[in-house]
Structure 1
Amino acid sequence: MTSAELRCLRESLGLSIAELAAVLGLDARAAAPGPDEPALAGSARKASPLDRKTINRWERDLQPISKANAEALNRLVVYTDRAVAAIVDEHEPGQPIITYADSVELHAAESGLWATLPAAWHRAVAWRAAQQIPGATISYSS
């Protein structure tokens, strides 16, 4: 993956550099794998999120992404794709998709999400899902 592709991917996920660092540093590595997802054995971070300076270096071609971090990023992409598919499966044509104005609202409503995923990530998911559902609209939760 080139530095430009990494930045495009991060932005398509609705994540800032700091948010991606938090997700990759904690959630993507520590979350239990799904039934059809291999564990990222030995790659869990013990104490703190990934340093956002590291991601900045990846995006500027100053440092290559490690295999463990590439796997964690792939895991986040798979997780996001599944979230989009779940929304598509749950909605009929023309039915509104609910998203969230802020992260507190998101995590109160969607308790199973990785703790560091921000509302911007969910809005990106909602947008992608809406593109696949005829007549779908996106609304904030009440």
Structure 2
Amino acid sequence: MNQFLTDQQIASLVEAIQSAEEHSTGEIRVHIDSNTETQNAQTAFEVFKKLCMNKTAERNAVLFHVNFEQKYLTIIGDTGIHEKVHQSYWDRLHDYITSEFSKGNYYKALKSAILETGLELKKHFPVEGENHNELPNEITFS
């Protein structure tokens, strides 16, 4: 489906999302966009809404919107998580991921970012009682 990640790596990223969400009420999604040529950030916000990521109970969903061809990454944290970690957190994570992407480490960068985001979500939104998975854990494509 794309030349940047193998099917096995995509399956492993889904497992990383499940693991990252295990101890938190937060939700993490990865969307790989191969169509958008301009306005990647605007497209990322549209995808965020289309995937209903702005509808979680605690507004703590995080989207990694990746366009490998355009070398573009947008990270969107909904209002609940963004209030806790602030812009500097996202900037640092973005810098790490794009630095790894520039070395061709697409899988490593996304997996690390997913797991690190999971730790932040666990810190600010720990599970108390039953942990409902509000959104699917699959990687989406366009």
Give the TM-score taking structure 1 as reference length: 0.32
Question: As a proportion of its length, which structure holds more strand?
Answer: 2
Give the TM-score taking structure 2 as reference length: 0.32
Higher RCO, 1 vs 2 (CA within 8 Å, ≥6 residues apart)? 2
